[in-house]
């Protein structure tokens, strides 16, 4: 049967053509393509590994950063707390001191006033005594005259008195 | 490369320009349509590249085809002429003292009158000259080769320089190349040994696939049944046989001739079977590819022959629909057969080179 009989001419042409194609493609197509693909695969592999490594490093850095931030925060809190305490202390001390001072000043003022008052009273007393004696002298002077006159004397005497 | 392409295209144009307008006296339109003859003509090789046939207004049958070079070796002499000299088998070509006649696409040696002697089965008994002609299949193969070289070399050129993502043609070619490398070669052959066999596997895969596809194109210059021709599949199978056995290691031969771990009498028996197996494996490769592709061509041609056999236009939609389905199936088969041939080649090679584990 013709269909199953190989044709030597076609076999020979196919042989040469196929070998030629095989060698040309091997040199100019398969080698460059396969090599480039291999290089690319290796590059990708390498890049992926490098990326994973970098990611790990970044994570580590991130962790360190977080730790540092937390530490700083804690330290800040402590500092703020201390500062607040110190402020409170200072304020209280200042307050108590001011109070003390104010009390002292008040006390001094009171003492001074007391003293002044006493002095004034003393002064008034002595003046009143002198005035009383004076009035009594004038009264005694006028006893002998009319009662109306005496009354007028007392009034005039009183008018003369200046209590200051 | 580009110059080769230009020369080829130029010669192609030249050849088409001198196409032969022949009046085929034996093919008057009254003649019954013979599907068997039409199909066998289409699936077998030919000395001219048929372009179109039609019946003109004067009721003459016109055949337009591209003549192809005929190269004959007879009595140590090389004869070279165009196939148009045969006038489709009607003329006898005289070269020196030899007369050649074309009969059913085969060239026979005849006497000066061109008489053919027929045997009981109606086959000519005349001798053949050694035929090295550039036939339709050879032309089709060269066309596919140009296509393959162009596709892959231009894709390969883009890989120069730094590694980049594939673009354009690369993004079509690369997945296919990687498919052959990973799913065919790597799945069958040890990883550190594939570099040696990968060029063959890649070439054979794309050679078969692209030729299958060209065979499916129904118009000129496609449609040749190259991968359904036993000469081609035989050669490819022989190359696989050669590569397998040349690279076969000690373990491979030991498993063929002296299977370890089996009683001695059975070893001898197995040796015979295994030895035959060396040849039956590529033989199956040869027949499988040829039969699948030829069968596809025959089915599609038969479906369209139905219209002319039944002489009815009504059957045309059915033929076209079924033909379409077959074309879709054949597109799958084209890739599938290339895959199977390559995979089995890789399997045989893989078995021959695998490290002995026993």
Please report the DSSP string for B89-129 in residue order.
TTSEEEETTEEEEEETTEEEEE-TT----B-TTS-B-SPPP
Residue of A nearest to B129 (CA): A9
Predicted confidence at residue B33, as pLDDT, reads 81
Is residue A92 domain-resident? yes
Distance CA B226, CA B234 (A): 12
* Among candidates A20, A31, A39 on the partner chain, residue whose Cβ is nearest the Cβ of B163: A39
B302 phi and psi angles, rounded to 5 deg: -65, -40
What Rg, from alpha-carbon coordinates, does chain A have? 62
**Structural domain of B208:** 138-159+168-353
Is residue B358 domain-resident? no
Predicted confidence at residue B330, as pLDDT, reads 94
More confident: B59 or B225: B225
Distance CA B187, CA B343 (A): 9
Q: What is the mean pLDDT of chain A?
A: 89
How many Cα atoms are found within 13 Å in the side-chain-facing hemisphere of B324? 5
Predicted confidence at residue B80, as pLDDT, reads 87
- Residue B19 pLDDT grade (very low, low, confident, very high; cuts 50, 70, 90): very low
Nearest by Cα to B300 from B321, B284, B277: B321
Cβ–Cβ under 8 Å, residues B302 and B308 = no
* Least reliable range by pLDDT among B161-165, B178-182, B195-199, B219-223: B161-165
Predicted confidence at residue B356, as pLDDT, reads 67
Distance CA B258, CA B274 (A): 10
B143 and B258: one domain? yes
B176 burial (CB, 10 Å; 0-12 / 13-18 / 19+) is middle
Q: Could you give the C-alpha distances from A12 to A15, B119, B214, in angstroms and in order?
A: 5, 29, 21
Chain A residues lying within 8 Å of B203, measured CB to CB: 18, 21-22, 25-26, 30
B208 and B115: one domain? no
Q: In what order do the strands lie in the sheet with B61-67?
A: B20-23, B61-67, B48-55
Q: How many structural domains does chain B have?
A: 2
B143 and B286: one domain? yes
Q: What do you get for the CA distance between the two ends of chain A, in Å?
A: 165
Is residue A61 domain-resident? yes
Residue in the block written with tokens 């004869």: B79
Please report the DSSP string for B190-219 in residue order.
-GGGHHHHHHHHHHHHHHHHHHHHHHH--S
* Among candidates A8, A24, A34 on the partner chain, residue whose Cβ is nearest the Cβ of B198: A34
- Interface confidence, given as ipTM, is 0.85
Predicted confidence at residue A143, as pLDDT, reads 67
Predicted confidence at residue B138, as pLDDT, reads 93
CA A26 to chain B, closest CA, distance in angstroms equals: 6
CA A58 to chain B, closest CA, distance in angstroms equals: 27
* Least reliable range by pLDDT among A65-79, A118-132, A146-160, B264-278: A146-160
Q: Give the distance, in angstroms, between the CA of residue A158 and the centroid of all CA atoms in the same chain.
A: 73
Predicted confidence at residue A146, as pLDDT, reads 65
Predicted confidence at residue B45, as pLDDT, reads 86
On the question of pLDDT at A86 being above 60, the answer is yes
3-state secondary structure at position B79: strand
3-state secondary structure at position B61: strand
Q: In what order do the strands lie in the sheet with B106-110?
A: B92-95, B98-103, B106-110
B129 and B182: one domain? no
On the question of pLDDT at B203 being above 60, the answer is yes
B230 and B82: one domain? no
Nearest by Cα to B201 from B338, B37, B354, B20: B338
For A12-33, how does the pLDDT look when each residue is reduced to its tens digit (9 = 90+)?
Answer: 999 999 999 999 999 999 999 9
More confident: A138 or A162: A138
On the question of pLDDT at B14 being above 60, the answer is no
- Residue B17 pLDDT grade (very low, low, confident, very high; cuts 50, 70, 90): very low
Q: Do B163 and A5 touch (CB under 8 A)?
A: no
Distance CA A98, CA B196 (A): 101
Average the pLDDT over B52-56 and give the result.
84
Cβ–Cβ under 8 Å, residues B89 and B70 = no
CA A18 to chain B, closest CA, distance in angstroms equals: 8
- Residue B11 pLDDT grade (very low, low, confident, very high; cuts 50, 70, 90): low
Average the pLDDT over B9-24 and give the result.
46
Is residue A2 domain-resident? no
Residue of B nearest to A6 (CA): B231
B126 and B189: one domain? no
On the question of pLDDT at B30 being above 60, the answer is no
On the question of pLDDT at B208 being above 80, the answer is yes
Predicted confidence at residue A50, as pLDDT, reads 95
B298 and B221: one domain? yes
Predicted confidence at residue B311, as pLDDT, reads 86
- Residue A99 pLDDT grade (very low, low, confident, very high; cuts 50, 70, 90): very high
- Cβ-proximal residues to B206 (8 Å cutoff; 6+ apart), any chain: B148, B152, B176, B338
Distance CA B139, CA B196 (A): 30
**Structural domain of A143:** 7-160
3-state secondary structure at position A113: helix
Average the pLDDT over B275-291 and give the result.
94
B82 and B105: one domain? yes
3-state secondary structure at position B313: coil
B231 and B335: one domain? yes
Chain A residues lying within 8 Å of B159, measured CB to CB: 32-33, 35-37
B144 and B284: one domain? yes
On the question of pLDDT at A44 being above 60, the answer is yes
Average the pLDDT over B135-149 and give the result.
93
Average the pLDDT over A30-53 and give the result.
92
B207 and B126: one domain? no
Q: Do A37 and B174 touch (CB under 8 A)?
A: yes
Distance CA B145, CA A13 (A): 12
Task: Give the DSSP H/E element, type plus range, for residue B132.
Answer: none
Is residue A1 domain-resident? no
- Residue B357 pLDDT grade (very low, low, confident, very high; cuts 50, 70, 90): low
- Residue B25 pLDDT grade (very low, low, confident, very high; cuts 50, 70, 90): very low
Please report the DSSP string for A26-66 in residue order.
IIIIIHHHHHHHHHHHHHHHHHHHHHHHHHHHHHHHHHHHH
For B233-266, how does the pLDDT look when each residue is reduced to its tens digit (9 = 90+)?
Answer: 999 999 999 999 999 988 888 888 888 888 888 8
- Cβ-proximal residues to B91 (8 Å cutoff; 6+ apart), any chain: B85
Residue of A nearest to B140 (CA): A14
Q: Do A5 and B174 touch (CB under 8 A)?
A: no
Cβ–Cβ under 8 Å, residues B83 and B47 = yes
Which one of A56-65, B11-20, B96-105, B248-257 scores highest in mean pLDDT? A56-65
On the question of pLDDT at B155 being above 80, the answer is yes
Alpha helices in chain B (DSSP H): 2-17, 35-43, 136-157, 170-179, 186-188, 194-216, 230-246, 250-257, 264-309, 315-353
B163 phi and psi angles, rounded to 5 deg: -60, 135
Residue of A nearest to B239 (CA): A15
For B75-125, how does the pLDDT look when each residue is reduced to its tens digit (9 = 90+)?
Answer: 888 888 888 888 877 788 888 778 888 888 888 888 877 778 888 777 888
Chain A residues lying within 8 Å of B230, measured CB to CB: 3-6
Q: How many structural domains does chain A have?
A: 1
Is residue A129 domain-resident? yes
Predicted confidence at residue B283, as pLDDT, reads 95
- Residue B20 pLDDT grade (very low, low, confident, very high; cuts 50, 70, 90): very low
On the question of pLDDT at A129 being above 70, the answer is yes
Cβ–Cβ under 8 Å, residues B100 and B93 = yes
Task: Give the DSSP H/E element, type plus range, for residue B50.
Answer: strand B48-55
- Residue B207 pLDDT grade (very low, low, confident, very high; cuts 50, 70, 90): very high
- Contact of A46 with chain B, judged by CB distance below 8 Å, is answered with no
Distance CA B138, CA B226 (A): 8
User: Model-level pTM?
Assistant: 0.75
Cβ–Cβ under 8 Å, residues B353 and B344 = no
- Contact of A26 with chain B, judged by CB distance below 8 Å, is answered with yes
Residue in the block written with tokens 């048929």: B50
Token pair belonging to B24: 């085929």
Is residue B108 domain-resident? yes
Q: Do B142 and A39 touch (CB under 8 A)?
A: no
Q: Do B198 and A24 touch (CB under 8 A)?
A: no
Average the pLDDT over B23-31 and give the result.
47
Is residue A26 domain-resident? yes
B198 and B64: one domain? no
């Amino acid at each position: 049967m013709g269909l199953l009989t190989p044709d030597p001419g076609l076999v020979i042409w196919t042989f040469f053509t196929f070998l030629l194609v095989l060698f040309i493609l091997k040199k100019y197509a398969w080698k460059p393509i396969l090599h480039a693909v291999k290089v690319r695969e290796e590059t990708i592999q390498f890049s992926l590994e490098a990326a994973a490594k970098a990611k790990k490093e970044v994570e580590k850095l991130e962790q360190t950063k977080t730790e540092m931030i937390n530490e700083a925060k804690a330290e800040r809190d402590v500092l703020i707390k201390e500062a607040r305490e110190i402020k409170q202390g200072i304020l209280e001390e200042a307050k108590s001191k001011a109070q003390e001072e104010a009390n002292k000043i008040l006390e001094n003022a009171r003492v001074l006033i007391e003293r002044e008052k006493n002095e004034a009273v003393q002064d008034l007393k002595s003046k009143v005594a002198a005035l009383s004696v004076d009035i009594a002298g004038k009264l005694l002077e006028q006893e002998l005259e009319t009662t109306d006159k005496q009354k007028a004397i007392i009034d005039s005497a009183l008018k003369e008195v200046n209590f200051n | 490369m580009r110059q080769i392409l230009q020369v080829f295209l130029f010669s192609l144009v030249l050849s088409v320009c001198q196409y032969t307008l022949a009046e085929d006296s034996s093919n008057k339109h009254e003649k019954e349509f013979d599907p068997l003859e039409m199909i066998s003509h289409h699936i077998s090789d030919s000395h001219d590249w048929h372009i179109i046939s039609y019946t003109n207004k004067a009721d003459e049958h016109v055949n337009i085809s591209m003549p192809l070079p005929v190269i004959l070796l007879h009595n140590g002499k090389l004869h070279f002429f165009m196939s148009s000299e045969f006038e489709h088998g009607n003329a006898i070509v005289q070269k020196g003292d030899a007369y050649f006649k074309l009969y059913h696409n085969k060239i026979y040696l005849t006497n000066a009158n061109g008489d053919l002697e027929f045997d009981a089965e109606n086959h000519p008994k005349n001798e053949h000259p050694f035929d090295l002609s550039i036939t339709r299949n050879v032309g089709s193969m060269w066309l596919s080769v140009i296509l393959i070289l162009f596709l892959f070399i231009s894709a390969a050129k883009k890989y120069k320089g730094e590694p980049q993502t594939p673009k354009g043609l690369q993004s079509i070619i690369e997945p296919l190349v990687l498919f052959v490398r990973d799913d065919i070669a790597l799945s069958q052959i040890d990883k550190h040994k594939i570099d040696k066999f990968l060029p063959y596997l890649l070439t054979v895969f794309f050679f078969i696939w692209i030729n299958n596809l060209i065979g499916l194109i129904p118009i000129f210059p496609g449609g040749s049944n190259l991968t359904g021709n036993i000469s081609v599949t035989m050669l490819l199978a022989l190359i696989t046989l050669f590569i397998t056995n040349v690279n076969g290691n000690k373990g491979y031969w030991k498993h063929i001739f002296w299977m370890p771990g089996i009683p001695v009498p059975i070893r001898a028996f197995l040796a015979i079977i295994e030895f035959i197996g060396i040849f039956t494996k590529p033989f199956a490769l040869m027949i499988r590819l040829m039969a699948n592709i030829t069968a596809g061509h025959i089915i599609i041609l038969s479906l369209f022959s139905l219209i002319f056999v039944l002489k009815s236009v009504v059957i045309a939609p059915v033929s076209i629909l079924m033909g379409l389905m077959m074309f879709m199936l054949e597109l799958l088969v084209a890739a599938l057969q290339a895959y199977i041939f390559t995979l089995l080649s890789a399997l045989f090679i893989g078995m021959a080179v695998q490290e002995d584990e026993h």
